[in-house]
């Protein structure tokens, strides 16, 4: 069991390193564009990459440094660091989720009436609106993460790998007989608003995007009968479809990852699973580490031409 825990932690650390490189490269590729030419979609990708990078860095610090270093005799400073790093972890996690929702909704709105709309913009095409919505995502992440700073996690004497830690593997952890009401309320509110609802929105949006793509595919004209302008539009549509397929792939990864996270938190507890911290570490970093490669390749941001410039 100990060997499996070490192997899982090593695998997760390796994935985190890949995620760090992927998110940094995605940020550089987007920032390479002049500020005046940054598009709303690129801004949302940038927000997602920054949130992913922050979560990867803080999760590694929390799980490897803080979580393993502080024991039950931790000072007030250590307890504050435990809460602070967990707050940053949850903040990055929620920000990544919200920007994923934003990207999926934005792409659906762009595709929904593309043929009828021609090139008329939607609300989120306005860069000021994109900045405003991105700011709302960040503020919501702060508000939903703030209770972590004030709740009191309780360790109970069970045979877990972290039973002496001042930073328990499950921050909502408390005994069945004596569990503060705030812990329970925040746990299920967090699961509802930050896991179940986003999972539902992303799933529904994915289905809607697939339906739009199928309708557009049936409406495509044969290439031989197209004029020059139609050929240009077809090329543009193909790029949009490739980007959309990448978004669908990332959304599929999101659905798998957070479904596992929900099953993990609703059916198990640290007392049931000796390597709880490693499993949560693995699940929480999978999407944030793999998604930048999916988005980057699908949107030609990870092309050899851009790589050569670096």
pLDDT of residue 161: 42
Query: In the predicted model, what is the mean pLDDT of residues 279-286?
Result: 80
**Band of the pLDDT at 224, cuts 50, 70, 90?**
very low
To the nearest whole number, what is the mean pLDDT of the chain? 77
pLDDT of residue 229: 53
CATH 1.20.1070.10 corresponds to the domain 2-219+231-309: yes
- So where are the chain's domains? 2-219+231-309
Give a three-class secondary structure readout of the chain.
CHHHHHHHHHHHHHHHHHHHHHHHHHHHHHHCCCHHHCCHHHHHHHHHHHHHHHHHHHHHHHHHHHHHHCECCCCHHHHHHHHHHHHHHHHHHHHHHHHHHHHHHHHHHHHHCHHHHCCCCCHHHCHHHHHHHHHHHHHHHHHHHHHHHCCCCCCCCCCCCCCCECCCCCCCCCCCCCCCHHHHHHHHHHHHHHHHHHHHHHHHHHHHHHHHHHHHHHHCCCHHHCCHHHHHHHHHHHHHHHHHHHHHHHHHHHHHHHHHHHHHHHHCCCCCCCCHHHHHHHHHHHHHHHHHHHHHHHCCCCCHHHHHHC
Q: For 52-97, what is each residue's pLDDT tens digit? A: 999 898 887 776 665 555 544 455 666 777 788 888 888 999 999 9
pLDDT of residue 105: 93
């Amino acid at each position: 069991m100990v060997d499996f825990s070490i192997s899982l932690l090593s695998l997760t650390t390796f994935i985190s390193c890949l995620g760090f490189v992927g998110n940094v490269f995605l940020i550089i590729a987007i920032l390479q564009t002049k500020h005046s030419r940054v598009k709303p979609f690129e801004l949302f990708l940038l927000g997602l990459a920054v949130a992913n990078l922050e979560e990867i860095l803080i999760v590694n610090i929390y799980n490897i440094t803080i979580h393993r270093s502080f024991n039950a005799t931790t000072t007030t400073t250590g307890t504050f660091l435990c809460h602070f790093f967990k707050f940053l972890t949850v903040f990055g996690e929620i920000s990544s989720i919200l920007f994923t929702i934003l990207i999926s909704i934005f792409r659906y709105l762009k595709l929904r009436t593309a043929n009828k709309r021609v090139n008329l913009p939607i609300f989120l095409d306005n860069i000021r609106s994109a900045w405003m919505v991105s700011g709302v995502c960040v503020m919501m992440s702060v508000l939903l993460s703030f209770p972590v700073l004030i709740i009191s996690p309780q360790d109970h004497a069970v045979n877990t790998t972290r039973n002496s830690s001042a930073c328990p593997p499950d921050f909502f952890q408390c005994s069945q007989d004596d569990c503060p009401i705030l812990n329970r309320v925040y746990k299920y509110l967090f699961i509802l608003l930050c896991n179940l609802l986003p999972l539902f929105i992303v799933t529904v949006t994915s289905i809607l995007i697939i339906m739009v793509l199928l309708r557009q595919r049936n409406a495509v004209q044969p290439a031989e009968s197209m004029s020059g302008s139609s050929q240009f539009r077809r090329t543009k549509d193909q790029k949009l479809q490739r980007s959309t397929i990448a978004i669908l792939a990332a959304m599929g990864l999101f659905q798998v990852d957070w479904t596992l996270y929900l099953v993990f938190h609703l059916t198990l507890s640290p007392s049931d699973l000796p390597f709880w911290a490693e499993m949560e570490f693995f699940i929480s970093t999978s999407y944030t580490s793999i998604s930048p490669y999916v988005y980057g390749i699908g949107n030609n941001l990870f092309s050899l031409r851009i790589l050569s410039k670096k």
